[in-house]
Amino acid sequence: MPSFHQVKSYLDHWLHEVDEHSIHSPFFFDLYSKVVTKKYKSDLPVLENLRWDMESNKTVLSINDLGSGQHHKTPSQRTIGEIARTSLTPYQYAMFYLDLLYYTKSHRVVELGTSLGLTTLYLAQKKDATIYTFEGSHDIANVALTNFEWAGRKNIELIEGNINSTLRKFLQSTNKVDFVLMDANHRYGPTMLYYQQLTKRLSGKSIVIIDDIHRSAEMEKAWREIRTDVLVYGSVDLYRCGILFFDPSMNKQHFVWSLK
């Protein structure tokens, strides 16, 4: 059941939402009309079959969930089915992320929070992109690796370990990053830390997606601070996620939309 905070934030989002008639920027109008308002259906049935298989999988995993953002203790034993039913990105958003990846012509992708690897496999459909995906739980990472092998995708590199340290090490030895999906630790401190680390490898053409920006008060605080950062020149609030743009020509624009 949604919390009071989530209900309140959803109503606030609905009150501030705009449509194409309020978009005067050619870039954002094109993004809205070609990607955001697209009617997303499951165009990848093989991946959706994998989702259904995982949702019914009763295999028990020992997990160390560092990123739930919940105040209660996370169970150390969960089935693959339980994780799949509560953690996997809905297909319309997975397809949206893939379309956004094509739209931005991105090649170097960082995904923080592999989970079971389904969203990773969606992103990996863009064959000329390399997906660097980060996962903190050993058992969950093993399931994701099995899924990558099953799908035959060669453009995925899974980096296992605590993201607080693995991301920093990765960024020290890599070039610019085009596309980032942050869906790992849903707390204020880690979200701000990851964003600050990532800014060192972003360019004016990079985009960053932050998942669950309205999940809690601390995630909303992180989203407000990040979208008003001096490096951010455009942002979109889709309620489930926020998208950041770093091109100075956008002239500090912010939009509240819904995925249709």
Q: Are 84 and 55 in contact (CB under 8 A)?
A: yes
Domain 4-44+87-256 has CATH 3.30.1490.20: no
Residue type, position 110, single letter: V
pLDDT confidence of residue 64: 72
pLDDT confidence of residue 1: 67
What are the structural domain ranges in the chain?
A: 4-44+87-256
Between vectors from CA 32 to CA 183 and to CA 229, what angle results, nearest 5°?
50
Start-to-end CA span in the chain (Å)? 23
Q: Are 33 and 45 in contact (CB under 8 A)?
A: no
pLDDT digits (tens), the chain, 260 positions: 677 777 788 777 777 788 777 898 999 999 999 999 987 666 789 999 999 999 999 999 988 765 544 444 455 899 999 999 999 999 999 999 999 999 999 999 999 999 999 999 999 999 999 999 999 999 999 999 999 999 999 999 999 999 999 999 999 999 899 999 999 999 999 999 999 999 999 999 999 999 999 999 999 999 999 999 999 999 999 999 999 999 999 989 999 999 87
